[in-house]
Structure 1
Amino acid sequence: MATEFNFELVSPEQLLVSGRVSEVVIPASEGEMTVMANHAPAMTTIKPGVVTVKAADGKTDRYVVFGGFADILPTGCTLLAESAVHVDDFKSADIARRIDAARAELEKASGDEQRFGLESYLAELTTLQGIVVPA
């Protein structure tokens, strides 16, 4: 049984990861999801969170993502992020700006469905802020 698989993390700006890994933990919309070799085929949306990548050599890296989707196959996983950056390159001002923008949009929301979506997104951003920018 194979213990490694191909993984790519892509944002509109750059290809952040491309290579063989042993596992990837992604912030799927329904909760964190660990992807390993021979995973059943799946596709999921990604919420703001941290992607943890364990390379085939055992080295672990973390990336902050702001939405997107993942395509998972038994032989690999591709995560297309709306925005992504290595956790070491993450700037706390970025998340503060996103939170302010979400709050401003929430004030202008016209319907319950739109308000719910924005409130959920704001909660995800606030949680992410606590994870990557500890108090």
Structure 2
Amino acid sequence: MADTMQFDLVSPERMLASVPATEVQIPGAEGDFTAMPGHVPFISTLRPGIVIAATDKGEIRYVVTGGFAEVTGEHVSLLAERSLLAEELKQPEFDEMVTEAKTSRDATSGPEYDAANKHFADIMEMGRQLGLQASTV
């Protein structure tokens, strides 16, 4: 088994990462998981959260708002709806994410409301983990 695997993180705006990693912590829609070299292949949807890649330069943290993860034994590819380096997420961008999630939640009902409310809660938790608090809720 190799010591590293290729980690790629892509969003519609740009490719954020293409580095060798020893592990990648991923916020899966059905629960967080850690991919390591030799991991069993699978695909998962992403929920809003923080991706942590362990590289030779240390841990690199990224924010994602959703998307897909494909994991093989040698490669982890994340295709994110929206992503950026965690340190790039400032209060104005976080407030925008909160407003979008709240608007989406408030415009739905029934089963769609539950999913939208979960998305909103995940955005709020992500902000809390990064020391950010929504200006208005």
**TM-score when normalising by structure 1:** 0.91
Q: Distance in 1 between matches of 2:129 and 2:65?
A: 14
Stretches of 4+ aligned residues off by more than 6 angstroms: none
The SS at the match of 1:80 is strand
8 Å contact 1:102–1:122 — kept in the other structure? yes
Q: Distance in 2 between matches of 1:66 and 1:120?
A: 12
Q: Which letter does structure 1 place at the counterpart of 2:18?
A: S
Q: Deviations over 1:90-123 (max 9, x none)?
A: 12222222222222333332x3111111111111
Unaligned runs of 5+ in 2: none
Q: Deviations over 1:18-77 (max 9, x none)?
A: 12110100101111110000100010000000000111x251110111101000011111
Q: Distance in 1 between matches of 2:106 and 2:16?
A: 35
Match of 1:116 among 106, 114, 117: 114
The SS at the match of 2:99 is helix
8 Å contact 2:94–2:132 — kept in the other structure? no
Q: Which letter does structure 2 place at the counterpart of 1:125?
A: I
| Number of equivalences | 133
Q: Distance in 1 between matches of 2:49 and 2:41?
A: 22
- Percent identity for Structure 1 against Structure 2: 30
Unaligned runs of 5+ in 1: none
Provide the residue aligned with 1:11 in structure 2. 11
